[in-house]
C-alpha cells in the first residue's frame, strides 16, 4: 500500500523520518543535473525538476534544519535518470511525497493518524469569553481550531432587579460548560485556558465547579487542576493570542506534550527504587513480564522502530501490540526529547508492572551476561 503526505511543520519532518525505512519506495519531486549534447557536439548541463521513485537505502535527518535527505536507486522509468541510478531526494516542508511499503505495521499507522489529526496534537484547549460570548478552541502547534461558539443575549442589570441578568448569565455559563464537555478530550488535553476581561473567568470557573460538585461530574472534578485562568481583552477568538503570550501560560505549556512522558519515566524510577520487582528494563525482561500479562505501562523509544533489521523491528511492534491487547498503556518516547535520551540509556525499553514478577529477578544474572 502507499500513502501521500504533505509535511506542514517541523514536527512533521520528524514523523516522516520515523515512517521511512530502508527498502521502502519513495516518490517525490526533485532536481537532477542532466547533461545535454547539442547538434554541434558541445556538452552542457542543466538542472531539471523531475519526479523520481527511489528504493530507499540511506536516511539522514538534520534535526536543526529539519531537513531529510533520502538516498536510493531509481526504480521507475524516467527520461532523465536511468533505472538503478543513485539519487538523493531532499524532503522539505510543504512539498508532497508518496511512500509505499510492502508491509504497514500498527506503530507506523498510528503515527500517521496522530500526525494528520489535529485533535491529537492539540494538547491545549482554550475558552475565550466575555459576558454573553464564548469561543471554545483547540490549540495545536500550528493552528487554532474553533470547536464551538456560544452566544447568549444577556439583559443589563436594572436598579433593584438583577434576576433577569443573573438567570441569563447562568444559562450562558451552563451552555459553555456543555461545550467544554462535548469538545474537549481530557485524555489528550493537558491544559485548558480560561481567558476573559474582568471577573468573568473567575465567576464562570466558580459556577462550573459548584455545578460539578452538585451533579457529581467526575470528568470536570478530576481535571480541575488543568484549568488555568488568564486575562484577555475580549471574548473574541483573536484575543486568544495575547492570552497565549502570558509568561505564566508559556511556562505551563512549553512542555505539555512531553509532560506525560516525563511523568511516566519518573514513576518508573520511583518504582525501581522502592519496588524493583515491579520495574523492568531491557527487551528480554520486558517480554517475559509481558508473557505474564504483568505490564501496566510500557515505555519505549521511537528509535527502536527505526531498526534496520526487519525482524528486530517486528519484535518491538509485536510487544507494543501485545501490551495494548492486555489493556496496558504504551508511551512512545521521542528520542529527540530529554526524557527519550534518558530512556535510551536504559536500553530504550522499560515497563512498570501491575504486580511483582519475582522469578524473573532470579534469571537476571544469566540473561544480562548473555545480553553483554
Residue 372 resides in a domain: no
Do 325 and 227 lie in a common domain?
no
pLDDT mean over 15-35:
92
Domain count, the chain: 3
Residue whose C-alpha cell reads 520495574 in the numeric block: 279
Tens of pLDDT, residues 157-203: 877 778 888 999 999 999 999 999 999 988 888 889 999 999 999 99
Considering the domain architecture, whether residues 241 and 132 belong to the same structural domain is answered as yes
**Same domain (yes/no): 241, 264:** no
Inter-residue contact 310 to 316 (CB < 8 Å): no
DSSP string, 12-73: HHHHHHHH--TT-EEEEEEEEEEEEE-TTS-EEEEEEEEEEEEEEEEEEEETTTTEEEEEEE
Question: Is 323 part of any domain?
Answer: yes
pLDDT in the model for residue 359:
58
For cell 447568549, the residue is 152
C-alpha 54 chain-centroid distance: 28
Whole-number pLDDT of residue 252: 67
Same domain, 110 and 130: no
* Domain identity same for 104 and 132: no
Picking from 214, 240, 255, the residue at the C-terminal end of a domain is 255
Domain identity same for 128 and 247 = yes
Domain that holds residue 339: 258-367
Residue 253: pLDDT band (50, 70, 90) is low
pLDDT for 198-237, tens place per residue?
Answer: 999 999 999 999 999 999 999 999 999 999 999 999 998 8
Query: What is the pLDDT, as a whole number, of residue 371?
Result: 52
Predicted pLDDT of residue 363: 54
Q: How confident is the model at residue 96 (pLDDT cuts 50, 70, 90)?
A: very high
Is pLDDT at 258 greater than 70 in this prediction?
no
DSSP letters spanning 86-113:
EEEEEE-TT--EEEE-S---HHHHHHHH
- Higher confidence at residue 366 or residue 110? 110
CATH code (residue 170): 3.30.420.60
Model pLDDT for residues 295-352, shown as the tens digit of each residue: 999 999 988 988 878 788 889 999 999 999 999 999 988 887 777 888 999 999 999 9
Residue 40's pLDDT band, with cuts at 50, 70 and 90, is confident
Query: Residue 144: how many CB atoms within 10 A of its CB?
Result: 19
Are residues 81 and 140 located together in one domain of the fold?
Answer: no
Rounded mean pLDDT of 112-140? 83
Read off the C-alpha cell for 143.
493552528
Residue 316 · residue 300 · CB < 8 Å: yes
Split at pLDDT 50, 70, 90, the class of 38 is: confident
Residue 163: partners with Cβ closer than 8 Å, 6 or more residues away: none
| Portion of the chain with pLDDT greater than 70, in percent | 91
* Residue 141 pLDDT grade (very low, low, confident, very high; cuts 50, 70, 90): low
How confident is the model over 67-87, as pLDDT tens digits?
A: 899 999 999 989 889 999 999
Is 60 among the domain residues? Answer: yes
Residue 262 pLDDT: 76
Question: Cell for 213?
Answer: 460538585
- Phi-psi region for residue 41, left (φ > 0), alpha (ψ -120 to 50) or beta? left
Tell me the C-alpha distance between 240 and 254, whole Å: 16
Confidence (pLDDT) at 227: 93
User: Does 242 fall in a domain?
Assistant: yes
Assign 331 to helix, strand or coil. strand
CATH for 6: 2.30.30.870
Question: What is the model's pLDDT at position 73?
Answer: 96
- Residues 112 and 131 both lie in one domain: no
**Among 88, 120, 152, residue at a domain's last position:** 120
pLDDT tier, 275 (very low <50, low <70, confident <90, very high otherwise): very high
Domain boundary among the residues 85, 104, 120 is at 120
State residue 318's pLDDT score.
Answer: 94
pLDDT for the residue numbered 360 = 57
Arithmetic mean of pLDDT, 350-363: 78
Provide the pLDDT for residue 216: 93
Amino acid at each position: 500500500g502507499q500513502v501521500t503526505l504533505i509535511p506542514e511543520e517541523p514536527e512533521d519532518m520528524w514523523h516522516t523520518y520515523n515512517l521511512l525505512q530502508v527498502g521502502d519506495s519513495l516518490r517525490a519531486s526533485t532536481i537532477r543535473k542532466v547533461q545535454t549534447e547539442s547538434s554541434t557536439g558541445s556538452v552542457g548541463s542543466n538542472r531539471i525538476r523531475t519526479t523520481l521513485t527511489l528504493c530507499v537505502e540511506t536516511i539522514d535527518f538534520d534535526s536543526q534544519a529539519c531537513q531529510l535527505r533520502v538516498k536510493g536507486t531509481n526504480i521507475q522509468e524516467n527520461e532523465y535518470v536511468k533505472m538503478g541510478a543513485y539519487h538523493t531526494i531532499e524532503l522539505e516542508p510543504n512539498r508532497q511525497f508518496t511512500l509505499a511499503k510492502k508491509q504497514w505495521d500498527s506503530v507506523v499507522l498510528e503515527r500517521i493518524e496522530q500526525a494528520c489529526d489535529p485533535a491529537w496534537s492539540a494538547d491545549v484547549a482554550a475558552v475565550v469569553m466575555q459576558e454573553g460570548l464564548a469561543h471554545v478552541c483547540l490549540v495545536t502547534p500550528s493552528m487554532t481550531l474553533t470547536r464551538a461558539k456560544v452566544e447568549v443575549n444577556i439583559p443589563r442589570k436594572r436598579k433593584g432587579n438583577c434576576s433577569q441578568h443573573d438567570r441569563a448569565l447562568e444559562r450562558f455559563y451552563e451552555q459553555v460548560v456543555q461545550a467544554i464537555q462535548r469538545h474537549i478530550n481530557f485524555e489528550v488535553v493537558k491544559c485548558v485556558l480560561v481567558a476573559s476581561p474582568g471577573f468573568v473567568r473567575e465567576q464562570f470557573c466558580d459556577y462550573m465547579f459548584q455545578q460539578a460538585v452538585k451533579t457529581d461530574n467526575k470528568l470536570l472534578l478530576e481535571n480541575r487542576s488543568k484549568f488555568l485562568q488568564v486575562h484577555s481583552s475580549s471574548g473574541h477568538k483573536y484575543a486568544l493570542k495575547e492570552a497565549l503570550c502570558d509568561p505564566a501560560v508559556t511556562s505551563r505549556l512549553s512542555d505539555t506534550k512531553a509532560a506525560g512522558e516525563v511523568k511516566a519515566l519518573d514513576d518508573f524510577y520511583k518504582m525501581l527504587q522502592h519496588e524493583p520487582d515491579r520495574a523492568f528494563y531491557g527487551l528480554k525482561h520486558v517480554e517475559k513480564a509481558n508473557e505474564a500479562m504483568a505490564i501496566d505501562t510500557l515505555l519505549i523509544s521511537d528509535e527502536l522502530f527505526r531498526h534496520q533489521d526487519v525482524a528486530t523491528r517486528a519484535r518491538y511492534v509485536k510487544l507494543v501490540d501485545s501490551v495494548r491487547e492486555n489493556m496496558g498503556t504504551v508511551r512512545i518516547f521521542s528520542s529527540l526529547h530529554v526524557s527519550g535520551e534518558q530512556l535510551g540509556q536504559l536500553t530504550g525499553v522499560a515497563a512498570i508492572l501491575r504486580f511483582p514478577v519475582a522469578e524473573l529477578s532470579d534469571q537476571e544474572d544469566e540473561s544480562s551476561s548473555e545480553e553483554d
